[in-house]
Structure 1
Amino acid sequence: MTEVADGLEASFEAQDGTGAAIARPMLAGSRAPGAAAFESFVRSGVGGLEVKAFTGASDAAGGVAVPDEIDTMIDATLKSISPIRSIANVVQVGSSGYRKLVTSGGTPSGWASETGSRDETATPAFHEIAPPSGELYANPAASQAMLDDAAFDVEQWLAGEIAAEFAKAEGAAFVNGDGTDKPKGFLQATVSLAGDATRSFGQLQYLPSGAAGAFGDDAEETLIDLVQTLRPPYRQGAVWVMNSATLARIRKFRTSAGEFLWQPSLAAGQPATLLGYPVVEAEDMPDIAANSLSIAFGNFKAGYLIAERSATQILRDPYSNKPFVHFYATKRVGGMVSNSEAIKLMRFSAS
């Protein structure tokens, strides 16, 4: 037995003496601490994750905070799937409530001589914006056998599942949400034919297409009129928003000179344009029908506000539906029109 041990020791000494690197399998613990801990939690329910105790409703209830690397993947995927999020003003909040003040009317001024008296000028009107919000959740599941498979990319799967669920719900709510336990979509705002000077704050101006459920005699002029209803300060950064069916009809329109109104992108990564402005396809916009608000044009960075909690919370539930493991993810999101002068709509009606 002593001879065997001496032989092994001599073999190790000979290997070390060559100076060659000894190939050893990498252990899970040698990776980045956050990634290893999260994968251990997802696969087996144990790990060194910090448990938080905060929700908007109760201090005693809480979940497990998603590591930064996972939260980053979810946000990046949401921007590519939910188009309104990518063009709106998104703010991160630390609580369930959010308030924003918006002024209207400007600050009037006046002229006077060098020694003339100065009368008091009017003060801008203040309006409080409080986006309605709700708890956005996803509850994907996987079998324990799939989680045990070492070749399965658990983190990528979890990020993709949550992102797909969140993007689907967000896209519909930002466009047409009723504001009850969810964001209020911009198409749910009160609409009016009145211009910016006379319209009440919070109402969106619409322009009739000239015919019920269709474009009028001159679609090009109607689209140009819609662009011009948006005042110049808002046109910088303005975009068109419509679904694919509406865009398909507009892409066939030609000018009197025979040129297409729609211009394809000339460079990779650049959007196609309509009358010089980018087009965003949002499938939650309604199809063209009688009295439908199927086209929006405006500066959504100035006109629509999204307020969200910065952290996504996940609860791992391996007990409710054995042998499946559920990952219950929640995120609080709110939204509403913040500046009704920055978004214009086209209603497919005669007036």
Structure 2
Amino acid sequence: MKRTIAKYFYIGLFSLVANFIASALCAQNAGGIHGRVEDTQGKPLQFATAKLSLDGAELASKTTNANGIFEFSSDFLGLDSITLEISHVNKATQTIVLKKAEYASVVKVVLANLSLTLNDVVVTGTIKNQNSASSIVFDEEAIRQLQAFSLMDVLNTLPGRKTVAPDLQSPQTITLRTSSGGADAMNNSFGVAIFIDGIRISNETDMQSRGLSSRGLSGSYVFGLHQSVLDVTYNGFDLRDIPMSNIASIEVIQGVGTARYGDFTNGAILITTKAGRTPYNANINFNGGSSSFSLTKGVELGGKFGALNISGGYTNSNDDPEIN
């Protein structure tokens, strides 16, 4: 009798333990997606954040326990794939895309330390363009940020030049790689070539002055009724005559460049205008007594005719707004 009671007692105890283990396993399996977070030395990371997301939208977030374990419910087991992101303070964040077949396995994540220490760095030079190793390029974004009234406002940002307020009351000519003034500055400016889409803009046939051979430099100016004609004969090109609204990029070559641009002696300014179909672009600038308005548009002509870019602008400058 006693043996029978003991037998049934052990059977009941075994059934109780078996049910407890089965319940624990079921609870573990019901947990769905679970894993362990460690550092590079194999130690568990507590308080690491584990996030589940789908198509950029966060679905759930958990924090690891003292053993580095995180566990999500079984609500996400029906998804074909899900993104798991693990992060921790002073550790590099890891993002893992889990497939449905990987949900049942324990996800092991190792987070590396974040360090400001740099590895070996190899620095190599790269030539951005083939025109000159000393050229400087202003792209369309840089030109737009400068809010320039004329080409001179952009070129004044070159290294070694003085940044001044926009001046539209007098001719503007550019000098490169020199601090000379007077006739020497005129010679330097005359040696700077300006190209727009590969076509050189020349002022060498200007007839707004008298001959140098008979009158000399001081006597070559043509005087009107009240003042002399504001022109830049023998002095390069007036940069106020180049509109800024339709320029895509500006490249400045200081010194001698490639032979394709001719015999310029002091530098070249290569201007590329906008091309192709572009939306309407309106630009309004106000600075002191100067104001500028422009509108540009690029249209397709169809067939083999390509595209046509049209720009129009109006500029007004007052040298003394308090009086005029």
Relative to the length of structure 1, the TM-score reads 0.21
Ranked by relative contact order (alpha carbons within 8 Å, sequence separation 6 or more), the top structure is 1
Computing the radius of gyration from Cα coordinates, the structure with the larger value is 2
**Higher share in helix:** 1
**Higher share in strand:** 2
